[in-house]
Chain A
Amino acid sequence: MKALEIKIDKNLCKGCGICVDVCPKNTLESSNEVNEYALFYPRVRDLDSCIVCRLCELYCPDFAIEVKEK
Chain B
Amino acid sequence: MITANYIKNEYIRRMPSAFCPGCGDGQILNAIARAIDHLKLPRNEIAAVSGIGCSAWIPSPYLRVDSLHTTHGRPIAFATGLKVANPKLKVLVVSGDGDCTGIGGNHLLHAARSNVGITVIMVNNGVYAMTGGQVAPTTEHEYKTVTTPYGNPAFALNVSEVVAAAGASYVARWTTWHMNQLIRSIEKGLTKKGFSFIEVISQCPTYEGRILNMDHIQMLHWFRDKFKTDEKGVFRIGEFVDIEKPELTDELQKIIEKVRK
How many positions in chain B have a CB within 8 Å of any CB in the partner chain? Answer: 28
Contact, CB under 8 Å: A39 / B179: no
Chain B 1-20: CB-based contact to A (< 8 A → 1; otherwise 0): 10111011000100111011
Tell me how far the C-beta of A29 lies from the nearest C-beta in chain B, rounded to whole angstroms.
14
Which A1-60 residues have a C-beta within 8 angstroms of B?
11-12, 14-18, 21, 39, 54, 57-60
In the bound assembly, the distance between CA atoms of A65 and B15 in angstroms comes to: 13
Q: Quick one: given A60-B30, A62-B17, are A69 and B217 in contact (CB under 8 Å)?
A: no
* Nearest A residue to B179, CB-CB: A58
In the bound assembly, the distance between CA atoms of A30 and B187 in angstroms comes to: 34
B25 within 8 A of A: yes
Contact, CB under 8 Å: B21 / A58: no
Residue of A17, A39, A62, A67 near B15 (CB, 8 A) is A62
How many positions in chain A have a CB within 8 Å of any CB in the partner chain? Answer: 22
Contacts of A65 in B (CB 8 A): 4
Contact, CB under 8 Å: A54 / B3: yes
Residue of B1, B15, B21 near A69 (CB, 8 A) is B1
In the bound assembly, the distance between CA atoms of A62 and B5 in angstroms comes to: 11
In the bound assembly, the distance between CA atoms of A65 and B4 in angstroms comes to: 7
Which B11-66 residues have a C-beta within 8 angstroms of A?
12, 15-17, 19-27, 29-30, 34
Tell me how far the C-beta of A24 lies from the nearest C-beta in chain B, rounded to whole angstroms.
13
B198 within 8 A of A: no
User: What 4 A-B pairs are tightest by C-beta distance, nearest first?
Assistant: A61-B26, A16-B22, A14-B21, A57-B4
20 new A-B contacts at CB < 8 Å, known A18-B217, A65-B4: A12-B16, A16-B216, A18-B27, A54-B1, A57-B3, A57-B4, A58-B4, A58-B30, A59-B179, A60-B26, A61-B19, A61-B24, A61-B26, A62-B17, A63-B4, A63-B8, A63-B15, A63-B30, A64-B15, A66-B4
Chain B residues at the A interface, C-beta cutoff of 8 Å: 1, 3-5, 7-8, 12, 15-17, 19-27, 29-30, 34, 179-180, 205, 216-217, 220
